[in-house]
Amino acid sequence: MIIGSILISIGISVGFLLGTGLILAALLILAEKRILNYGACCIDINDGEKKLQVPGGGSLLSSLAENNIFIPSACGGRGTCAYCKVQVTEGGSMIGPVEEPYLGPEERKKQIRLSCQVKIRKDIKIRVPKELLSVRKYRGKLLHKRPLTYDIVELRIELVEPKTIDFIAGQYIQLESEEYDGHDRVMRAYSMSSLPSDKNHVELMIRKVPSGICTTWVFEHLGEGQEVTFSGPYGKFHISDTDAEIIFIAGGSGMAPIWSMLRDLREKGNERKATYFFGALTQRDLFFVDELTRLQQEVSWFKFVPALSNEPAGSDWEGERGLITDVVARYMPDCSKHEAYLCGSPGMIDACIKVLKKGGMTEDRIFYDKFA
């Protein structure tokens, strides 16, 4: 009798819990289907240039990514990196508390939004830079990883899927690191140093950032033969279509886009004069000096000026000494007819812009790619 009543009460409680669980689960599933069903929505990109039909309810960033339009994003849609800004001209939701701190008054006036925080509930109209429409996600295999200096490596990646990439010299890709030691996957931007005509390879120059999540992964965990994923090409940094004499200034891994541009110029039979100022601390920070010197000998239009700022006074270095800004000022006292292409840290770029302006260059002739 006692066992019987115990069994009954166990039965009642199990049945009750099971029933409650099932009813509530069914209710939630039904609600999600019914309440959160926004139907198919249309994303209109650049006033009808491209129209996408997507299921409503997702974020703008992920809906675009599903249709192979990749807005640059480093945090993966959590609203912390503020890279994924796009202009939403119609149909955007209210600005939420997550976005609030990242949008200035100017951006609000232009209807700029974080695409990861915009939820698609109805037809929506957005504007994105044209080159973003050709961004793809790539899978590749790492062929070589070779050290250029003690803290810079060069990666050569063979494209597997898709097999080719079309880009303009100076553009960058976003490399995706894999999970390791408790770090999530992250995306970081690196300029391509390879030739645009070498369509099934991509080369990158990566400088080790102390405790950087992605660079530590590249230096310590990424091995030759391993699969890598990235998206691209991004960026508006490229050589303009004029005849003005070119000044390149870059140090360290900032050489990547310049190296691509120089080889691209040579391949296209360029006649424009160009000078490359390569700033480094000491001789151990220099790389590709032989290659660049050879290029200088091969073509008449190119001049290579490496300069060291911290080289010990009595060393065997015969090139220029001093801060790269001083060297540029010495070589180019009047640069009002030139165009400048800079790549490097924000501090170095701002210093160079100051020197170039002093030499008579207007700001619309200075193009740069700042490493953030």
Interface stretch with other proteins, choices 11-19, 78-86, 168-176, 305-313 (CB under 8 A): 11-19
CA atoms within 13 A on the CB side of 357: 9
Stretch that binds other proteins, among 12-20, 191-199, 320-328, 341-349 (CB under 8 A): 12-20
For residue 334, the minimal CB distance to other proteins (Å) is 51
- Closest C-alpha among 180, 178, 136 to residue 159: 136
- Our CB check for other proteins shows the closer of 9 and 336 to be 9
Q: Measure Cα distances from 140 to 230, 278, 287, 290 in Å.
A: 8, 30, 26, 29
Cite the beta strand spans of 21-171 per DSSP E: 40-45, 50-55, 85-90, 112-114, 124-127, 136-147, 152-161
Per CB under 8 A, does 111 bind other proteins? no
CB nearer other proteins, residue 113 or residue 238: 113
DSSP secondary structure letters along 274-294: EEEEEEESSGGG--SHHHHHH
With CB under 8 A as the contact rule, the residue among 55, 96, 147, 346 that binds other proteins is: 96
Least spacing, CB of residue 213 vs other proteins, in Å = 24
Which lies closer to other proteins via its Cβ, residue 28 or residue 143?
28
3-state SS, residue 128: coil
Are 159 and 202 within 8 A, CB to CB?
yes
**Which of 7/31 has CB closer to other proteins?**
31
Taking the least distance from each CB to other proteins, the nearer of 36 and 143 is 36
Distance of closest approach, residue 117 Cβ to other proteins, in angstroms: 11
Torsion of CA 317, 323, 326, 327, to 10 degrees: 30
- Nearer to other proteins (CB atom), residue 13 or residue 336: 13
Q: Least distance to other proteins from the beta carbon of 253, Å?
A: 36
Subset of 14-73 contacting other proteins (CB under 8 A)? 16-17, 20-21, 24, 27-28, 31-32, 35-36
Considering CB under 8 A, how many residues would be counted as binding other proteins?
18
97 part of the interface to other proteins, by CB under 8 A: yes
Stretch 251-310 residues interacting with other proteins (CB under 8 A)? none
* Contact range with other proteins by CB under 8 A, out of 47-55, 67-75, 90-98, 347-355: 90-98
Q: Looking at 91-99, 165-173, 251-259, 321-329, which segment touches other proteins (CB under 8 A)? A: 91-99
User: How long a stretch of residues is the chain?
Assistant: 372
List residues bridging with 187 in a β-sheet: 176
The set of residues, in sequence order, having a beta carbon less than 8 Å from that of 302 and lying 6+ positions away, is: 262, 266, 273, 274, 275, 276, 295, 296
In this chain, which of 94, 101, 300, 364 binds other proteins, going by CB under 8 A?
94
Nearer to other proteins, 97 or 347 (CB): 97
Nearer to other proteins, 28 or 281 (CB): 28
What is the 8-class DSSP label of residue 131? G
CB of 174 to other proteins, least distance (A): 29
Among 7, 12, 143, 281, binds other proteins (CB under 8 A): 12
> Which strands form 85-90's sheet, in the order they lie side by side?
50-55, 40-45, 124-127, 85-90, 112-114
Minimum Å gap between C-beta 12 and other proteins is 6
- Find tokens 């050589």 and name the residue: 239
- Cite the DSSP H helix spans in the chain: 2-35, 60-66, 105-109, 213-216, 255-267, 289-298, 324-331, 346-358
Region from 93-101, 138-146, 320-328, 344-352 binding other proteins, contact rule CB under 8 A: 93-101
At 231 the three-state DSSP class reads strand
Tell me which residues touch other proteins (CB under 8 A). 9, 12-13, 16-17, 20-21, 24, 27-28, 31-32, 35-36, 93-94, 96-97
